[in-house]
Amino acid sequence: MRAEIITIGDELLIGQVVDTNSAWMAEQLNANGVELYQITSVHDDKDHIVAALDEAFGRADIVLTTGGLGPTKDDITKLVLCDYFSSHLIEDVHVRAHIERLYRDRPDVLNRLTATQWQVPACAEILPNRVGSAPLMVFRKGDKMLACMPGVPYEMKIAMEEQILPYIQVEIRKTASLKDPRPIIHRTLQVTGIPESSLAILLEDYENSKPEGLHLAYLPKDGIIRLRLSSYGELTEEAMTQWFAQLKALVAGYLIADTDEPLEVMLGRLLKAQGATIATAESCTGGKLAALLNKHSGSSEFYKGSVIAYANEVKQAVLNVDRESLEKYGAVSEQVVAQMASGVKRLLNTDYAIATSGVAGPTGGTPDKPVGTVWIAWATPENIYTECFHLGKLREQVTDRACMKALVRMVKEMKK
Amino acid sequence: MRAEIITIGDELLIGQVVDTNSAWMAEQLNANGVELYQITSVHDDKDHIVAALDEAFGRADIVLTTGGLGPTKDDITKLVLCDYFSSHLIEDVHVRAHIERLYRDRPDVLNRLTATQWQVPACAEILPNRVGSAPLMVFRKGDKMLACMPGVPYEMKIAMEEQILPYIQVEIRKTASLKDPRPIIHRTLQVTGIPESSLAILLEDYENSKPEGLHLAYLPKDGIIRLRLSSYGELTEEAMTQWFAQLKALVAGYLIADTDEPLEVMLGRLLKAQGATIATAESCTGGKLAALLNKHSGSSEFYKGSVIAYANEVKQAVLNVDRESLEKYGAVSEQVVAQMASGVKRLLNTDYAIATSGVAGPTGGTPDKPVGTVWIAWATPENIYTECFHLGKLREQVTDRACMKALVRMVKEMKK
């Protein structure tokens, strides 16, 4: 079963909004055994939407659209589809009741524009949008389906999880009666400490010997390379497991993880298993590491807090870094970052701590400590480790990579 | 002049990577007077890439691709293009010299796979990639052009800024001799405190009276609606300025800003103008607000630091929140959040402070304080303000919206 996504909205094409929806939807589709063939972003323009629909129906069984379902004039998706399927708008009493309930306490929202939201194409199957006013619509074109969702990420996610994916599962079971569904399998390893090209040379024999239908991809990011094995129905689970084990053995010396689990989740899991806690003291990463550590639910079980010590006086007053070290070695130094780690560990009474201090740039570099220089310290119950990195020239790159370096070493220390 | 982007890589279509490149490129193209018509994401597959190229050349004058230029086997863009343009690979001495210089200290990277990077299609014009090993390639197809860049965001950005955009400017000047280039103008207002549908009703007469070529878009996100006026060469700068002023007057009661400037940048600007400093004390936002405040260069001029007080003992020990308030009112309360704000302001010796405490979810909600309840406190040199919000059900949504609420009010207080 093959799908395509069409994202609708001028904001995507003038760069006002990053399309985060498609990646999330892609992941869900793959997990449900649906191959995503193409993602196309088009303008809020009738001819453009129609052309994209025609092309997508020519290639895929399932077409998903996001966006253009708001009550304002610039949102035209519903009207274009009504026309595309030669239908007309009718009032949907269920949608009306839902919207009236949703905005019960908001008479200001229940206006005549919002009322247009319960007008739906007569030919569409309407699925409930539990958290918003735009109804989800499913259209049929021969044996193909089109599902339309709002572009607001939170609404789209709930729509996919509660309505569209179960609907797609039904579609899959229909075809499954004709032939076995092709399982899509992805397996990922995370490695570090080897250049991408050297890794590829290391894996050359492996790549030459693997079967046609088994794909190996290299995804380098922030100093970590994710190695992904994929099969679109060509391999059995057992064969995949064998090939994956072989790959894992080859890269054992560089391995961080044998899943695609984000490092911050992995670290959280290790801490919870030990009943241990962690804190961070951040200068150059400025809260990014803290935000990563408690991005996921349940972080309060292991994460107690952080001190973001951007200014030197904060490093002294709150983290107890001594003035002499600051003056003699500077804020970006082994001495200071080690004191930051031990300071925050003591202050917040945790088992582990990570500290960062560096020159994120673009300004502030010196010949001695150019932009990209980052000192990191890791405090464990017994020891303090420090390391200096050179992480590039761009502010975002430097801070993202620093967070990854910080997590990789902490995970390694915890696994010891 | 019309452009399209083709992003190449299986990782985009299985959801392993979010395409942040396209939005950034879109913004640059628009700023350079180039309309971006469509973004298409395709697999690392020869037929798929070729089909996408044919379609894009049928619609646009300029085609930009990202991705698939690495030295590993899964990256096939260069070979596909070599074939597409019926060319053959030759060694480029400049690229070779650059790569040998780039990896001077890394003999492990200078291997035979990396050496394939200086093999380039004979028909391509090669532009230097200052920060990476994959050469930038420009191909001609009649009077149309194709530019190929790496998918790594940092490399792509430098490639666009230093090489591709100047190249496109030359293209634009060529056509400009035939007819006037059409200026693309976007102007954005940011408003808050009014539902999208009510805003649209408020602007109904305006929308009905505005000229055909002037587009109005509504972009709601995290409690803020961005209202964007766009003209693709139909209006003069003067006419645009008049229509924009009229729009601004109509929404004056809800206005936060008359530019698309991110709120954290605006706040930084206001603080710098006053020579004032700020700190944050965060519970539910967990560092997200801190990371926002120092996302941009120059933040050390106004941002001193933060205390991320996830655990109650940190709120007490570091921020001096009294135990009684925590026990009597709970961590998510007006009393506690106000003490967090004044505590961090005192501790870090700043002029302003923001504190957050809430139930981010998905667990931890109670009937009294359901998931999404967030208390925020703003400390100014004279006062402390507090406000309670209900920001939805999803962890990311709750914390993103809390950051926006925190910034909006702080900006307002500073503008008073």
The CATH number linked to B411 is 3.90.950.20
Say which DSSP state B152 is in.
S
User: Nearest C-alpha of chain A: how many angstroms from B22?
Assistant: 7
Shared-domain flag, residues B171 and B69: yes
**A402 and chain B in contact, CB less than 8 A:** no
Q: Are residues A166 and A55 in the same domain?
A: yes
Strands (E), A249-320: 255-257, 278-282, 303-309
**Residue A312 sits in the same domain as residue A378:** yes
pLDDT at A169 over 90: no
Tell me if B6 sits within 8 A of B56, measured CB to CB: yes
| Residue B11, in any domain of the structure | yes
What mean pLDDT is reported for chain B?
A: 94
pLDDT digits (tens, 9 = 90+) for A254-300: 999 999 999 999 999 999 999 999 999 999 999 999 999 999 989 99
What 3-state class would DSSP assign to A164? Answer: helix
Residue A365 forms contact with B (CB below 8 Å): no
User: Which residues are within 8 A (CB) of A366 and not within 5 positions of it... i.e. 6 or more apart?
Assistant: A359
Separation CA B263–CA B403 (nearest Å): 10
Q: Is residue A360 domain-shared with residue A252, that is, in the same domain?
A: no
- Does the pLDDT of residue A175 top 80, yes or no? no
Q: Is the pLDDT of residue B117 over 90?
A: yes
Say which CATH number the domain at A198 has.
3.30.70.2860
Residue A7 backbone phi and psi in degrees, to 5? -100, 130
CB contact under 8 A, A305 and B311: yes
Q: Residue A181 pLDDT > 60, yes or no? A: no
Q: Tell me how close the Cα of A140 comes to any Cα of chain B, in angstroms.
A: 24
Output the pLDDT for position A392.
84
Average pLDDT over residues B74-100: 96
Q: What is the mean pLDDT of residues B277-305?
A: 95
Domain-located, residue B200: yes
Cβ contact, residue pair A111, B297, below 8 Å: no
Is B276 found in the same domain as B140?
no
Write down the pLDDT at residue B174: 77
Q: What whole-number distance in Å separates Cα of residue A332 and Cα of residue A369?
A: 8
Least confident segment among A64-68, A125-129, A221-225, B370-374: A221-225
Asked if the Cβ–Cβ distance from A39 to B40 is below 8 Å, we say yes
Claim to verify: residue B205 and residue B144 sit in the same structural domain: no
| C-alpha–C-alpha distance, residues A206 and B163, integer Å | 38
Indicate yes or no: CB of A197 within 8 angstroms of CB of B309.
Answer: no
Residue in A19, A23, A308 closest to B306 by CB: A308
Q: Does A273 touch chain B (CB under 8 A)?
A: no
Q: Which of B223, B239, B257 is the last residue of a domain?
A: B257
Q: How much is the mean pLDDT over chain A?
A: 94
| Per-residue model confidence as pLDDT tens digits over B356-390 | 999 998 888 999 999 999 999 999 999 999 999 99
d(CA B201, CA B250): 11
* Whether the Cβ atoms of residue A85 and residue A77 lie closer than 8 Å to each other: no
The answer, for B71 touching chain A at a CB cutoff of 8 Å, is yes
On the question of pLDDT at A178 being above 60, the answer is no
Give mean pLDDT, residues A109-122.
94
Of A142, A176, A210, which residue is a domain's last?
A176
Establish if B362 touches chain A: CB-CB under 8 angstroms. yes
Interval B150-165 mean pLDDT: 94
- B130 burial via Cβ count (<10 Å: 0-12, 13-18, 19+): middle
* CA B112 to the chain's CA centroid: 37
Percent of chain A scored above 90 by pLDDT?
82
Q: In terms of residue numbers, what domain contains A144?
A: 2-176
For residue range A322-360, list pLDDT tens digits in order: 999 999 999 999 999 999 999 999 999 999 999 999 999
Amino acid at A257: A
H or E stretch covering B60: none
CATH code at position B248: 3.30.70
Tell if the CB–CB gap between A41 and B44 is shorter than 8 Å.
Answer: no
Tell me whether residue B309 is in a domain: yes
Q: Sorting pLDDT into bands at 50, 70 and 90, what band is A105?
A: confident
SS3 A393: coil
Regarding whether A271 and A198 lie in a shared domain, the answer is no
Q: What percentage of chain B reaches a pLDDT higher than 70?
A: 98
Is B183 part of any domain? no
Mean pLDDT of A128-141: 94
B286 and B399 Cβ atoms separated by less than 8 Å: yes
Q: How many CB pairs under 8 A join A and B?
A: 332
Listed by number, the residues of chain A in 76-105 with a beta carbon closer than 8 Å to a beta carbon of chain B are none
pLDDT at B222: 87
Residues A154 and A114 in one domain: yes
CB A376 within 8 A of CB A198: no
pLDDT at B232: 82
If asked whether residues A61 and A170 sit together in one domain, one would say yes
Give CA–CA dist B335/B342, Å, rounded: 11
Structurally, chain B folds into a number of domains equal to 3
Q: Summarize pLDDT for B231-253 with one digit per residue, the tens.
A: 988 889 999 999 999 999 999 99
How many Å lie between the alpha carbon of B39 and the closest alpha carbon of chain A? 5
In total, chain A counts a number of residues equal to 416
Q: Looking at the structure, tell me whether residues A13 and A160 fall in a common domain.
A: yes
Residue B46 has pLDDT above 90, yes or no: yes
Contact B16 A228 (CB under 8 A): yes
B221 pLDDT tier (thresholds 50, 70, 90): confident
Residue A1, token pair as written in the block = 């079963």
Interface check B303 vs A, CB under 8 A: yes
How much is the pTM? 0.84
**CA distances, B10 to each of A165, A215, A237, B45, B225 (Å):** 21, 10, 21, 9, 34
Residue B210 lies in a domain: yes
Any domain includes B181: no
Structural domain ending residue among the three candidates A108, A141, A176 = A176
Beta-bridged to residue B309, according to DSSP, are: A305
> What number of residues does chain B have?
416
CATH number at residue A78: 3.40.980.10
A272 and A215: one domain? no
- B398 Cβ under 8 Å from any chain A Cβ: no
Kindly report, residue by residue over A38-87, the tens digit of the pLDDT.
999 999 999 999 999 999 999 999 999 999 999 999 999 999 999 999 99
Same domain, yes or no: B298 and B172? no
Residues 6 or more apart in contact with residue B303 via CB below 8 angstroms? A286, A310, B268, B277, B278, B279, B290, B293, B294
Q: How far is B14 from chain A (nearest CA, A)?
A: 5
Structure tokens at A271: 């801490």
Return the ∠ at Cα B65 (arms to B131 and A47), rounded to 5°.
Answer: 150
d(CA A210, CA A213): 8
**Angle CA(B9)–CA(B10)–CA(B15) in degrees, nearest 5?**
110
Q: What span, in angstroms and rounded, lies between the C-alpha atoms of B394 and B372?
A: 8
pLDDT the model gives residue A31 = 83
> Helix or strand or coil: residue A305?
strand
Residue A361 confidence (pLDDT): 87
pLDDT for the residue numbered A177 = 55
pLDDT exceeds 90 at position A399: yes
